Structures are given as structure tokens and as C-alpha cells.
Amino acid sequence: MKIIYYCYGGTHSSPIAAALHIGLLPKNKCPTKEEILRLPWFDKVTTAQRGQLFLVGKDRAGNPVYVCGRGREKQGITQAIISGLLLAEGDPDELLFVDTLPAVNLFMRVGGYLSRRFNLVRIGRPLVVYGAQLAFPRLVALVEQAQEQLGLI
């Protein structure tokens, strides 16, 4: 199974969820600012990279875990990924898409917009990190639902 955590930009909520999934972050403790900023892909994906899959690592069952930014095209991006897999003669039933946007809050939206869209990283990044810490319990719940679906918990 290939697990794809996706959000608007693929750079805030989905990297945290993917890190939780593969054990880079513990589920029982809210991460510090430093722990969040060390995560692969956190606040690094650009607008031009939306729709690309970025491997974060593998879970304990060996499933690859990816992050992806979808922009406004939730359906379009998932369909494109499925189409690409079909072209490569893969099985779309081997994909699990997990939308992390339900966990995103206003701090993450504003901070992400400032940091990624306007390159105001000094203002946006602290906001998005604070928002990510507030959203952490919701992200844990999304990851646990995905892991349950996969039979990992």
C-alpha cells in the first residue's frame, strides 16, 4: 500500500501527519518548534511542486508514505496520481489518500500563506508552527484512522 497524505500546499499539515505515521514524531507529545522545523518537507514545498509526490519514509509495515500538495484541485490531483499509476500498470487499490485539511486551523492557513505565497517566512513560519501545535491532536486522530484502516493499530 502507498499512503499519500495531502493538503493544500503539501508543506504543513501533511508532512506532520506523514511524520506521525512513520514514527518521526511521537503521538503522545506535542512537538516543539524545533522538532516541527526538522521534519522533511515542512514549510519547504513550493507552489510549482504541487501535485508532486514526496517520499517521507516507510511505515513499520514497509508501506511508503508520501506528502502531496493539491492546491484547489483535490479531485484533479488524486485522479492524475491514479492515472499515472494505471499508466505504469499499477493497482489504484494500492493507494490510500488521506486529506489532512480538516485538521488545519486559521493560524496554519495565514502562516502558510505568508510563508509560502509571499515568502514572508519570518512572519509566517512562527504562525504556522503555532497552528500546527494547536492542530496536533486532530492530526494524530487522522493518522490513527489511516493506520487503523491499514491494520497497523
Chain centroid offset of residue 132 CA: 12
pTM summary value: 0.94
Which residue in 106, 84, 105 sits closest to 95, CA to CA?
84
Chain centroid offset of residue 123 CA: 22
Cell numbers standing for residue 49: 511542486
Q: According to the model, what pLDDT value does residue 47 have? A: 85
Q: Is the pLDDT of residue 136 over 80?
A: yes
pLDDT in tens, 102-121: 999 999 999 999 998 899 99
